[in-house]
Amino acid sequence: MTVFKHTPRILIADDDPSVCEALEMILQEQGNYHIVTATSGREAWKKLQDHAIDVALLDLMFEDLSGLDILSRAQKNHLSTEIILITGKGSIETAVEAMRLGAFDYLTKPVDDQEIMRVLKHALEKRALVDRNRALETQLAGLSRYEGLLGKSPVMQQLYRTLDAVAPTDASVFITGESGTGKELTAQAIHNKSRRAQKPFVAVNCAALPANILESELFGHVRGAFTGAIRDRAGYFEQADGGTLFLDEITEMPIELQAKLLRVLETRAFRRVGGQKEMQVDVRIIAATNQPAAAAIEKRRLREDLYYRLAVIEIELPPLRRRREDIPIIAQAFLKTFSDVLNKPVESISARAMQRLMEYTWPGNVRELRNAIERAVILCRSNQIELEDLPPSLQPDEKSVSTPAASDHDDFLMVPLGTPLAEVERQVILRTLQKWKNNKTHTARVLGISLKTLHNKLSRYQGR
């Protein structure tokens, strides 16, 4: 299930730590809150951005960044936090200014316990209301897609709502889900819906690079840092400045590098490999893995402290077999895509083929479905995809395949007269390949061509 953590997240910010502590105690006595504190204006602003705060209790007077400054920044960045300002010197003008800038309310010191709880409760109610409205809007729209994501099932609707709520914040997001469930698409959707949309989205596959290279790819290096480092080079962190860095397959990152990454996330500062200069960047982190976080931590593939840092918001993508009602929508959408791309007028999916698509377990999830439809559009000989056009893994078991009708269908190619020879050749090759269950050696042999020729032709078909 998609989760959006529900314990209300409250920020308490006052330059006097003892005031923070006192307020924290009042709140903790009255209810269950996730409390974050800050003792300077800058720290408060940073935490507001990073922690998906529901309500902030902000002191008006900070030396570095005033409560009003923070308030106007929050408005400008469309943070959905409700802000309550607190000040020692209550003046009508400041109160008016605060309300004009969009503060939820305004309290004067010394604050009364009951008064604070009353205002806080109202602010949380307003937050819940706004969330609910947003949810309703999405629900009413009955979205069957969201950015690149497809699906209309309740779990997907819930996902879209979560993404709507999370995208505008700077909170780190940790995405889990089986292979092919759309983790990268989800990361991209969050980026596209955020204020960072115009800045880079940099995706790094932590599994694709050896440990030492990964480090310099992430943080960059200076000339001479190692053999082959012939010039200074910026890493992904710098490239993603102002935007989003997507760390895919985070559990494949060597554990020592995870420790380094954690430090960088905590201090927001790093050095290029071999470099002296401290660099600072403004990057939102989204991480993903296809194994459950708890298992990865257990197996020591993921540092627990790093996980907590990354999983301010955790999103678990459902496997396709848990949302079968989405299969027709997704299959139709891909059918449209591939019939356009391949310039083949295939419009529908036969009832038998659709039934099979609905029954199958889809271990490779949406990616596998996408590939199946692409292949079917290529193989299809009419304007409708038939059961036989689906990949071997979806074919009914041996007995039924060997019925005379099915094998007839397998062995003959019917093309209208006047079909270009290249197209006839393509269909003969692909159908033969299908018949031999993708065994290329066999296919090449029966067609009387070399394996190399077969490979060349296949890659040409794929590149079309």
Ligand X SMILES: Nc1ncnc2c1ncn2[C@@H]1O[C@H](COP(=O)(O)OP(=O)(O)OP(=O)(O)O)[C@@H](O)[C@H]1O
Residues in contact with ligand X by CB under 6 A are 148-151, 177, 179-185, 290, 366-367, 370
What is the rounded distance in angstroms from the CA atom of residue 105 to the CA atom of residue 291? 44
Cβ atoms of 157 and 164 within 8 Å: the answer is: no
Residue 8 binds which entry of Mg ion, ligand X, none, CB below 5-8 Å type-dependent: none
Cβ atoms of 85 and 135 within 8 Å: the answer is: no
End-to-end CA distance of the chain: 38
Nearer to ligand X, 60 or 166 (CB): 166
Nearer to ligand X, 333 or 406 (CB): 333
Say how many residues make up the chain: 464
Residue 410 binds which entry of ligand X, Mg ion, none, CB below 5-8 Å type-dependent: none
Q: Give me the least distance between CB of 451 and ligand X, in Å please.
A: 28
Non-local CB neighbours of 193 within 8 Å, separated by 6+ positions: 147, 163, 164, 167, 168
Q: Give me the least distance between CB of 50 and ligand X, in Å please.
A: 24
Nearer to ligand X, 207 or 446 (CB): 207
What is the rounded distance in angstroms from the CA atom of residue 256 to the CA atom of residue 245? 19
Instruction: Give residue number: closest CB to ligand X.
Output: 182
Q: Give me the least distance between CB of 207 and Mg ion, in Å please.
A: 10
Q: What 3-state class would DSSP assign to 349?
A: strand
Q: Order of strands across the sheet with 244-248? A: 201-205, 244-248, 284-289, 173-176, 313-316
Q: Give me the least distance between CB of 245 and ligand X, in Å please.
A: 15
What is the rounded distance in angstroms from the CA atom of residue 136 to the CA atom of residue 387? 39
User: Among 127-135, 178-186, 333-341, 378-386, which window interacts with Mg ion (CB under 5 A)?
Assistant: 178-186
Q: How many CB atoms lie within 10 A of CB 448?
A: 7
Cβ atoms of 367 and 180 within 8 Å: the answer is: yes
Q: Give 284's DSSP letter.
A: E
Identity of the amino acid at 398: E
Residue 243 binds which entry of Mg ion, ligand X, none, CB below 5-8 Å type-dependent: none
Instruction: Give residue number: closest CB to Mg ion.
Output: 184
Dihedral sign (CA 209, 212, 213, 218):
positive
Residue 373 binds which entry of ligand X, Mg ion, none, CB below 5-8 Å type-dependent: none
Residue 147 binds which entry of ligand X, Mg ion, none, CB below 5-8 Å type-dependent: none
User: Among 119-127, 179-187, 275-283, 323-331, which window interacts with Mg ion (CB under 5 A)?
Assistant: 179-187
With binding defined as CB under 5 A, does residue 367 bind Mg ion?
no
Q: Give me the least distance between CB of 288 and Mg ion, in Å please.
A: 6
Q: Give me the least distance between CB of 184 and Mg ion, in Å please.
A: 4
User: Which parts of 436-455 interact with Mg ion (CB under 5 A)?
Assistant: none
Non-local CB neighbours of 261 within 8 Å, separated by 6+ positions: 218, 247, 253, 306
What is the rounded distance in angstroms from the CA atom of residue 438 to the CA atom of residue 230? 45
Tokens 């010197």 belong to 89
Q: How many residues bind Mg ion (CB under 5 A)?
A: 1
Residue 220 binds which entry of ligand X, Mg ion, none, CB below 5-8 Å type-dependent: none
Element spanning 47, H or E: helix 41-50
Residue 370 binds which entry of ligand X, Mg ion, none, CB below 5-8 Å type-dependent: ligand X
Which residue of 15, 24, 69, 184 would you call a contact of Mg ion, by CB under 5 A?
184
Nearer to ligand X, 41 or 182 (CB): 182
Q: Give me the least distance between CB of 205 and ligand X, in Å please.
A: 8
Cβ atoms of 317 and 286 within 8 Å: the answer is: no
Nearer to Mg ion, 251 or 434 (CB): 251
Q: Give me the least distance between CB of 204 and ligand X, in Å please.
A: 12
Summarize as ranges the residues that interact with Mg ion (CB under 5 A).
184
